Amino acid sequence: MGWKNALSVIVGLLGALAAGWALWVLESGRDGLSFEDRVIEGTPVRVIRPAENDGPAPAVVVAHGFAGAKELMEPFAVSLARAGYVTLSFDFEGHGSHPLPLPGMILGPGGAAERLIAQLGGMVEAARGLSGTTGEVAVLGHSMATDLIAKAVRDGLAVDATVAVSLFSPDVTATSPPNMLIVVGEYERRLTEEALRVTSLTAGQPALEGATYGSFADGTARRTVFSEGVEHVGVLFDPEGLSAAPAWLDAAFGREAAAASPDVRGPALGALFGGLMALAWALAPLLPAARGHPVPIGPTIGAGARLRLLLMLAGGPMVLAPLLAVLAPSGFMPLILGDYLAVHFFCYGALTAAGLALLARRGLRLPAAVWPGTAVVLSGLIAGVAVIAIFAITLDRYAFAFLPGTERLTLMPVLAAALLPWFLTDEWLTRGVPEGREGRGRRLWVYALTKLCFVLSLGIAVALDAERLFFLLIVAPVILVFFVIYGLISQRLAAVSASPVPAAIALSLALAWSIAASFPRLSG
């Protein structure tokens, strides 16, 4: 066994151990709890409660934010259930596994906001009637849901206590919503300021983080908690907020505090996905191998090109792609910004291909590659399907809604076809070595350069059309994380196949699945 094979075995074993430990921790976190998935008024819900009935308990409705799902809110739902509450999490229309799309944009009369507020009210009434509950109901919402909660209470929805995670809403007053705990990530700068401003309405003076103001008896209690070192999504997994929510509701309902630990699953999730990535890296050589000799179609450019040439190849599309994409027609895909991202990726890939072709006509060579025969394409398809299957199942169970229904699944081929040109040209561009240094001194930083340029191009698009494309500011960091994680797989696939094609196919399929499964769905 050569050292490369030995390394693959070691990495694979370590990955299996890490993933196995993580699965044990995550599954153990469900011990002592009862999970029930059902449909109420057409809405998919998940009811979590203590497995042993210690008497009636208040219910807590857990509402996700924009582009979220009930699975993303499970750390809060589980933490509250461990503390003795009965929780009801659900998917808003257009999100997660809800079969109905959003009827329109969130803002505006007659739009999605009014439908979502009505849906929230229905879930509160459903929670009030759950078996094993006292009839008292609290609501916990994240981001968009905090505004929906404030508006619903303003319009007459009766709740007994509130936990607002990443609060923003113009409808919050000194007394409404009642008995409100605000949890904000330390890095959500504007929201930390807003949280203290809202708390100050009750305090009658500049409020302090961690201090309680008002009275639970008359519903005016207010407190702000900052979760250290986290942002808008990380706040949902932070121990401080997960501990503060049950403690606040115990005080609001006059219950004796339960000796329960919060559902801190972040480290286990990191170990799970890190272990799965290590397994994928170790198993990549088992894929069908390309046959034949590499066909040189060029000294190599790509990662071996001079810096000025690299900057031109990466920077030209970075500027031109958003200029073209914002002019393209929209509305041909029922996903918020799904159509725009498809066009942006396609334009970026086409522009990069044009640059590579122009340089090839001028006598510069492209990196050597194997012709994309059956084995090469099959490798990409197998890798893509395997990555989707593994991550879709684990993400859907422990972190996010990632098993799309038929209405979403049919969008994936269109997205994958639009993404493929960019992944093909980018893989080709980043896999070269300097002439005369084949096999030595690969310039791996070029891979990071092209990904940074792509994310910056999304920023340019937002600057060109901020009103329509603002959601890209939320999507861009997620795409960057995708590039970092799957970049390890693409590097391995390129090494074992001597071709950019398998990695491009696998990454196109994986990202297309991610977009189709997670982006909010709009009515046609």
Q: Could you state, in chain order, the average pLDDT of each consecutive group of 10 residues for the chain (524 residues)?
A: 74 94 95 95 96 90 95 97 97 93 67 89 97 96 96 96 96 95 95 95 93 95 96 94 96 87 94 90 77 43 66 88 89 87 95 81 56 74 87 89 85 94 85 48 71 92 89 82 79 75 89 90 80
Q: What is the pLDDT of residue 298?
A: 39
Distance CA 369, CA 136 (A): 66
The closest alpha carbon to 486, from 344, 284, 235, 346, belongs to 284
Determine the Cα angle at 77 with ends 73 and 80, to 5°. Answer: 145
SS (H, E, C) 317-378: HHHHHHHHHCCCCCCCCCECCHHHHHHHHHHHHHHHHHHHHHHHHCCCECCCECCCCHHHHH
Q: Do the Cβ atoms of 99 and 406 come closer than 8 Å?
A: no
Q: What is the pLDDT of residue 433?
A: 46
Distance CA 111, CA 199 (A): 30
Q: What is the pLDDT of residue 297?
A: 39
Q: What is the pLDDT of residue 437?
A: 45
Distance CA 234, CA 225 (A): 14
Q: What is the pLDDT of residue 313?
A: 81
Determine the Cα angle at 15 with ends 10 and 16, to 5°. Answer: 100
Distance CA 461, CA 342 (A): 13
Q: What is the pLDDT of residue 436?
A: 47
Q: Do the Cβ atoms of 67 and 95 come closer than 8 Å?
A: yes
Helix (H, G, I), strand (E, B) or coil at 478: helix
Q: Do the Cβ atoms of 232 and 185 come closer than 8 Å?
A: yes
Q: What is the pLDDT of residue 485?
A: 77
Q: Which helix (H) or strand (E) holds 224?
A: strand 222-227
Q: What is the pLDDT of residue 294?
A: 46
Helix (H, G, I), strand (E, B) or coil at 11: helix
